[in-house]
A and B are shown apart, each in its own frame.
Chain A
Amino acid sequence: MTQHSRDLSRRRLLFGGAALSAGVVLAGCTSNETAPTAAQTKAAAAGGNADPGKKVTIGFSAPAADHGWIAAITNNAKAQAGAYSDVEFKSVEAGADAAAQRAALSTLISQKPDVIVLLPYDGKELNAFGLEAMKAGIPVVNLDRAFPDARAYRLQIKGDNYGMGVAAATYIVAQLKAKGVSNPVIGEIPGIDSLELTQERSKGFADTLAANGLKVANRRPAEFTADSGQQAATGLLQALPKIDALWNHDDDQGIGVLAAVNQANRKEFFMVGGAGSKKAMEDIQADNTVLKATVTYSPSMASSAISLARLIGQGKGMSDLVELQVPKEIVLASETITKENAGDYLKLGF
């Protein structure tokens, strides 16, 4: 008797489990109705370089998105390519690590694109690929994570991590001077501490503070995610009962940092963000949180990289420059966004 009924109940459970998991998958496909993020593109200006020219096939590869910034890079590149009638955009999934990206890139080479735009997992690890592609006659545009070997790229366009720290510290020093604070307590919440980019940002920050006779009182690293930002900030606020200024490296994790600040009911300090997300710019504009400024590290560089890759493919230079070819290196300046100019930058927020 028991054998039979147990079989039935087992079957029921099994079926129930399968039905539930099917429900999970189905709902997953239908439950999100967010509009696609508005991408940062440059409307084609009339005349000159913007006129349709020779057809250019651009191959693109970036790591799988693990946070908003990388997602914005890929979206921007796609959208900018779509803005040109003479660009064919071929994107390959980079997979999970540098080795997977190398494999994906070799399939890209076989499709013979005119130019390759590449945000490598790691510039050092993919340097060899850059050399190989350049040798095969395909110009490589290296996006953000630099190749150590200058022969491995035709153009390098990247943000300025050290400069970001400098910009944040410069703003903080100016504000503290204006307020006349002596012996200020300055906190810092960096992103993943083992990354070179984080170390450069922190170095720029510390160097600039030191030049003004100041130092960081406490730094608690997060992981570029909002929940880790909340936890790091909770620890920092607990360690420093009174803070004058706080620099948080990344606006995505900043959502959690601001949440922690609200939860701890702290208002005595001002905060500077990093990267320049849309939400951060809106918060700065609204001026109702401790976030008073953010220093950019804009994913709009992906849009620029596609525009420049097109010019390289067509053999044209940048119209405002005298040179007949696109320059070899472009480092974006880290700009400081405050309440005054947030409106202008909002369209670049991701």
Chain B
Amino acid sequence: MSEMTPTATSARADLPAPSPPVDPAETAAKADAARRLSWWRGDGGEGVRRNLGLIGVLVVLIVIGILTRPDLYGDSNWVWDNILTILKLASVVGVVTVGMTFVIIGGGIDLSVGAIVALAGVWATTVATQSYGAGGMVFAALTVGLAVGLVNGVLISYGRLVPFIATLAVLVAARGLAAEISDKQTQVSSNTFINGIASNKLLGIPLLVYILAAVVAAGWVLLNRTTFGRRTVAVGGNPEAARLAGINVRRHTLLLYALSGLCCGIAAIMLTAQANSAQAAMANLYELDAIAAAIIGGTLLSGGRGTIIGSLLGVIIFSTITNLFAINGLSTEAQNMVKGGIIVAAVLVQQVQFRSLTQFLGRNRATTT
């Protein structure tokens, strides 16, 4: 991408358009070709290597588990049950992280995800909504998630607010609205269908795990096999170049936040099902969990690069650590310190890998990002 726009800065794409130095159609074609090339040659292979590294971390964690609790790991029923428990624990944050990954690859950040989950969950469990049954509750959660996501998107793309500020404002406002609606009470879900989402299994696997798998698969296809995904990478990597290539950067950014909001709506239903209830304080600090998972999964915080599978592995690593500390009866304080350490280590490894990668690919690539 950088070959076409050697002078491009990190300026926002919504600046008034200077007349492009070359024919726009030609630029677009070149950009597309370059993106395709860089995708297969560079980032794709690199992503696979990174994911193998994450799987290595997972294996190490499991080995630690086996060594510290051989009594539990000796029971194959327990081990299978434990794997499903880890995946169930990862499911809600996992769905949120898929949306977050898109937003971060697109060059933004969404701090409001936890608050959106809470608002959507509270909305779906009011007495009025519950009277419409499971369908009404799901519809309410998805609509609220999507609507708040659109508000984020409008504020950022058309109101020109910095994503950090806009989503921070929405975080505060959405938690406030959730507290107002619920009158600060815990709203119990008495809908057996909704509660069953967390307790029922299909072919021995919890429904929550299927939902996670479906969202991850949809996210993977959307990012890797559609123009929407390519545009997301282009917008995050270099918004100015993306705009010159004919991408409607503002509209695309709006859609990214809407997508994140929709994921939060799905997560709200899952979390409500798990807790059999919703309240304004639920999904506390999920934004940090999702951002951390995306980052250790290899998503570049400045945008333009990231994988869905990496983010999923990031979430699973975190829930495996939680599980490891729980089965050993260690304090959550120590657990948080280890999580912090893993985030730092992941970013350090990323930097080292990135440096060697750019050296390998030569100077042209080094000017990207």
Q: Give the interface of A toward B (CB within 8 A).
A: 6, 9-10, 13-14, 16-18, 20-21, 23-25, 27-28, 30-34, 36-37, 65-68, 70-71, 193, 217-221, 223-231, 234-236, 238-239, 241, 252, 255-256, 258-260, 262-263, 279
Contacts and interface: CB of A to CB of B under 8 A. Distances in A.
Nearest to A350: B185
Interface stretch (B56-64, B221-229, B248-256, B356-364): B248-256
Interface of A, helix, strand, loop or mixed by DSSP: helix
Nearest to A228: B284
Nearest to B195: A259
Interface string B157-191: 01000000000000000000101111111111000
Contact of A71 (B127, B185, B195, B331): B185
Contacts of B148: 24
A92 to B, nearest CB: 17
B322 interface: yes
Given A33-B127, A34-B126, A256-B275, A24 B144 contact: yes
Contacts of B75: 241
Contacts of B322: 231, 235
A255 B127 contact: no
A229 B277 CA distance: 11
A32 B328 CA distance: 43
B326 interface: yes
A67 B179 CA distance: 9
Interface in B91-129: 123, 126-129
Given A32-B126, A33-B127, A226-B277, A67 B327 contact: no
Contacts of A252: 186, 279
29 contacts: A10-B250, A17-B153, A21-B151, A23-B147, A28-B181, A31-B123, A31-B126, A31-B129, A32-B126, A32-B183, A36-B183, A65-B179, A66-B184, A66-B281, A67-B281, A225-B281, A227-B278, A231-B274, A235-B89, A235-B326, A238-B85, A238-B323, A239-B326, A239-B327, A239-B328, A241-B72, A252-B186, A260-B274, A279-B188
Contacts of A263: 198-199, 274
A219 to B, nearest CB: 8
B151 A227 contact: no
B20 interface: no
A236 B327 CA distance: 7
A260 B271 CA distance: 12
A68 B150 CA distance: 31
A263 B177 CA distance: 30
B82 interface: yes
A221 B329 contact: no
Contacts of A28: 123, 177, 180-181
A255 B277 contact: yes
A256 B331 CA distance: 20
B71 to A, nearest CB: 9
B274 A230 contact: yes
B147 A229 contact: no
B150 A255 contact: no
A123 to B, nearest CB: 22
A14 B154 contact: yes
A227 B282 contact: yes
A234 B251 CA distance: 41
Given A20-B151, A227-B271, A239 B329 contact: yes
